Structures are given as C-alpha cells and as structure tokens.
Amino acid sequence: MGIGEFSAYYENPDIIEVFENFPPAFLEAANINTLNITTIIGFFGVMFGYYALIVSVFAIMLGADIISKEERDKTAEFALVYPITRAKIVTGKIFAAIVNCIVINLVTWAGVLLLSARFEPDQKFFEFLQLSIIAFFMLEIIFLALGILLGCALKHYKRANSLAVSIVLGTYILSILSGLSDKLEFLKYFTPFNYFSPLEMSNNMAFDTVFLWLSAVITIVAIGLAYLAYAKRDINI
Amino acid sequence: MSIIEVNNLTKYYGKARGIEDVSFSVDEGEVYGFIGPNGAGKSTTIRLFLSLIYPTSGEAKIFGKDINQHGVEIRQEIGYLPSEVFYYEGMKVLDLLKYSESFYKKDCTKRMMELAEIMELDLKRKIDDLSYGNKKKVGIVQGLLHSPKLIVLDEPTSGLDPLMQQKFFNLIREENERGATVFFSSHILGEVQKMCNRVAIIKEGTVINIQDIKSLQKDNYKKIRIEAEGLDEKRFSVEGVNNMVKDNGSINFFFKGDINLITKLISEKEVEDVTIEEPTLEEIFMHYYV
C-alpha cells in the first residue's frame, strides 16, 4: 500500500530538505533519520516499521483467537471431547496459524514486487525485500507464539484478546522510546520490533545474531508455556 | 464391572461450588439417571468425565481408568451429547460428521449413514442453515456414530420435537440393548422415569440420594387422599406422614411406612372417598427439594 505513495518521494531532493527540518527525535521514532527516503530501499525501510506493526497485530490476534475461539464460539464441547490430547489440538492450531502467516507473507512479497517494479529497483532492493519478508515472518512467529500463550493460559478469551493488542502496542512504543535516548537503548532487548532493524538489514544484508537467538528463545518459551498451561486449564464453557 | 466409578469428586471454580464429595458408580449395561435442577452440578460432573475441566479433589474412573491420566483412551469409547450444540459454521453436515469420524479408530461410515437416516438428517445441508432441532440431530448422530461403550447425555431432549424425542429414546434403548451403558442427565423427570434403571439425585452440588427407579416409586411413598366431613388432620399426624395439605373437606399427604397403620386410622372414621396411589417421580423429587 505504502509503495504507491513512494512516487511523491522518488528521487525528490525537496523531501530531504523537509525531513531535515523535522525534530531529530521524531525522525528517530519514525526510522527516517538514517535511511534515505528518496530511494526505494530507504522508503521501504521507513515503511518497514508500519508493516511490522500491522503484521504483528495480525499475528498475535491470530494466535490468541485460534485457541480461544473454541470457547468464544462454544465449540469447545464439540472440538475438545474427541479422543486426542490438548497438546495435539494446540499443535494442529499452531501449524494452521503458521500456514496463515506464510500465505500473508507471500502475498505481501508479490504485492511489493509488483508495485515497486515501475521504480526499476536494483538487485540490492530485492535482497533487502527478501530479508524484510523473512523479518516479518519472524516477527509474526514471535507474536503468534505470544498470542497462542495468551489464548492457552487465560481463562477469559476477551482478556486474551485485549491483552494481545496491549502487548503489541506496548512493545511498539518501547521500540520508539529505545531510539530516543542512549539511556533507554537497553529497552531494545524487550521489544521484538527492534530485533529486525531495516537499517542493519539494508547495510549488512543480514540479521543481528543476538536478536535471532532472542527471538528463538521467546518463541520456544512462549510455546512451551502455552502447552503446559493448556493441558491443565479448565475450559471455560 | 463398574463403567463409571466416582469417589468424593469435588470441583470448585475458584471459590464457587461446582460439586462437592460426589460418589456413585454406574454398572455396565445400566441406564443411569442423573437428575437435579439447573445449577445443581450435573454438567460440571459430565465435564469432569470428559476432561474439559479438572477436579479439585477426589477421583473418577471410567472403564476402570483414571479420568485424569487416561482421558484420551476413555474418550475413544464415549459418545457425548451436550445440552446445547455448537458447530463450526460454513461446514456441511456430512463434512462435519466425517471430521468427527476421523478421530475414531474404527470405521464408522455405515453406522453414521444409518443414524442420519433414522434421525432424518439431510447430510448435504450447511450447518449454518440448520434449525436448532436439526443441529441437535447432528449432535445425536455425531455422538453415536462410533458405537460408543458409554453414552453420556446432558439434557438431551431440549430442542427436539416429541416425535424426534421418541426416535431418540428408541435409539438410546437400542444402543443400550447392544451393550452400551448410558449416563443420562436431566431435569425432566418423566424422561428419566421412562429410561433409567437407577437414578442419582443431585442438589446444590451434592448427591443426596441414589435409588433404583422402582424402589423410588414403589417401596417408599404412597400418596394418600382422604375425603370426609369434619376431618381432623391431627388424627393422621403419625410417624411417616408428611407434606400434609388440608383443603375443603379433604386431606392429602405422603406416607412412608406400614400401610396398615394408615388404613386402620382411616377405617375408624366414616369417609366419603379414599385414594392411595404411587407418587410420580416429580412428586418424590419435590420431596427431596423441600
């Protein structure tokens, strides 16, 4: 979607001037200061943050909902009385959710490729885009895991859903705060939005290993806790 | 062999009472009634059987296996019909039943078709388009298609018209004759009376009585009505008499004990009319709830 607006920015020196007059903190928050917004990589790098927010909200809601919908729609008395363990139910739902995420990412990928074609992007952009799609996917997996944990652990599905949105928005705000001051930089470890920096990706064409490990740990712990919680929890009918 | 064995089963939802110290056992081949008003703990007990919720204390065994440890094996042989049925929308009846069938080890397609025909269920329709009664029929087919050893029914007849209720009861009787044990929870006493061998009465989370239907009706209480002029109800205030009601030249009461005692008391006076009859289960039931 954002790509369509890019034509206003494309190789337009006036834009740089406009941004130079913005307060640095705002630019930092919007990820604009370090990327050249008049190039397609730079523009996409700026849009990255918004896409990341959207896919993260989608993923955590999907995770919380895919578990709690059985209780919300009262289908639990149908779906959970079959001769299978709760763990198997969770596993099935995780796979279904991952397929969902993969489809969303493939569609996004194809969409960006189509819309950016007229700006004749170079090889570097394609590599950056590929990396970004992987980054979105990993963000989705982290938030999906957190969503599934909420769905599995919380007895009241309404609370799971509202907490899910709060977590995404809270960590998003943290990621903005962490960029504002050196003193707050440590916050970046607490927000998945900082794990995949578009600047880092466009410069090194790689992810930061520390954050990759952190992502893996968060995902595995969340999923592990989800299985434990769901196996013991009373279903709310 | 006991199909269901419940020992001091207790469930609290936080501080709220679900059931307390419930104990009973259901023998193989029995049709066991479980009656009580709404909120007494019937559904809580059933949901414990199915591991939808877990007990606070106490234990229950089904087919001799602990419900907490062998839930999956147990559920392989349970057919459950919940009091209200909810399904995924957008599915066709046949797809839903095939999905159900896929969870069971045996091949159930033939039985599924038979049941659908008996219940006059249109397999091609979408679940969303079905009336509540028709969804209930889907539930019946789904609950019975794998010829389970134990059939658990939670207020099964709500939403079914009388004709379908009749078909449903016939189906349950056939399943019972085939060897299935039936656990039948209800607050409609007439249907329990019609179907069950034994009955447990649950009130405010506690089982207050377990009896076989016949002794519940016959051996205990007589419903007595005496019509006479100038009748003094104190005459009949003997042990075993209760729920005495006097109105307009007649007295009504329930009596438990030696019937000769009462007939003697009646014969000492000139009376216009006397009826002695079996109380209905409703009336007995009322007695437990007074």
Q: Which residues pair with B92 in a beta bridge?
A: B126
- Say if A151 falls within a structural domain: yes
Strand, coil or helix: B127: helix
**Edge-to-edge strands, sheet with B78-81:** B78-81, B150-154, B181-186, B31-35, B198-203, B206-212
- Say if A194 falls within a structural domain: yes
| Better-predicted residue by pLDDT, A72 or B286 | A72
- Say if A12 falls within a structural domain: no
Is the Cβ–Cβ distance between A82 and B103 less than 8 Å?
yes
Hey, CA dihedral for A159, A164, A165, A166, is it positive or negative? positive
Mutation site, A65, A156, A234, interface B, largest B CB count within 10 A: A234
Pairing status of strand B150-154 against strand B78-81: parallel
Domain that holds residue A148: 50-232
Q: Which residues in chain A have Cβ-Cβ distances shorter than 8 Å to B85?
A: 77-78
Q: Which residues in chain B have Cβ-Cβ distances shorter than 8 Å to A81?
A: 50, 52, 75, 78, 80
The whole-angstrom separation of Cα A117 and Cα B270 is 109
- Say if A63 falls within a structural domain: yes
- Say if A14 falls within a structural domain: no
Q: Which residues in chain A have Cβ-Cβ distances shorter than 8 Å to B75?
A: 81-83
Does the pLDDT of residue A33 top 60, yes or no?
no
The whole-angstrom separation of Cα B232 and Cα A199 is 100
CA B14 to chain CA mean position, Å: 27
In DSSP notation, A90-152 reads: HHHHHHHHHHHHHHHHHHHHHHHHHHHGGG---HHHHHHHHHHHHHHHHHHHHHHHHHHHHHH
Strand, coil or helix: A219: helix
The whole-angstrom separation of Cα A123 and Cα A84 is 49
| Series of mean pLDDT values for 10-residue runs along chain B (290 residues) | 94 94 95 88 95 96 95 95 90 94 92 93 92 92 95 90 91 95 88 87 88 70 84 79 82 85 85 83 63
Candidate from B52, B78, B88 with C-beta closest to A237: B52
Q: Which residues in chain A have Cβ-Cβ distances shorter than 8 Å to B88?
A: 73, 75
- Say if A40 falls within a structural domain: no
As a whole number of Å, the CA-based R_g of chain A is 20
pLDDT at residue number A65: 94
Beta carbons of A77 and B13 less than 8 Å apart: no
Q: In residues, how long is chain B?
A: 290
Does the pLDDT of residue A88 top 70, yes or no?
yes
Distance, in angstroms, between B202 CA and closest chain A CA? 21
Look up the pTM and report it.
Answer: 0.82
Does the pLDDT of residue A6 top 90, yes or no?
no
ipTM of the shown complex: 0.80
Is the Cβ–Cβ distance between B245 and B253 less than 8 Å?
yes
pLDDT at residue number A117: 85
B271 Cβ partners below 8 Å, 6+ apart? B226, B227, B228, B231
The whole-angstrom separation of Cα A142 and Cα B191 is 53
Beta carbons of B103 and A81 less than 8 Å apart: no
- Say if A9 falls within a structural domain: no
Beta carbons of A83 and B104 less than 8 Å apart: yes
- Say if A32 falls within a structural domain: no
Residue A98 CB burial class (10 angstroms; 0-12, 13-18, ≥19): middle
Count residue pairs from A and B with Cβ separation < 8 A: 50
pLDDT at residue number B191: 81
> What's the rounded mean pLDDT across residues A211-233?
96
Task: Count how many domains chain A has.
Answer: 1
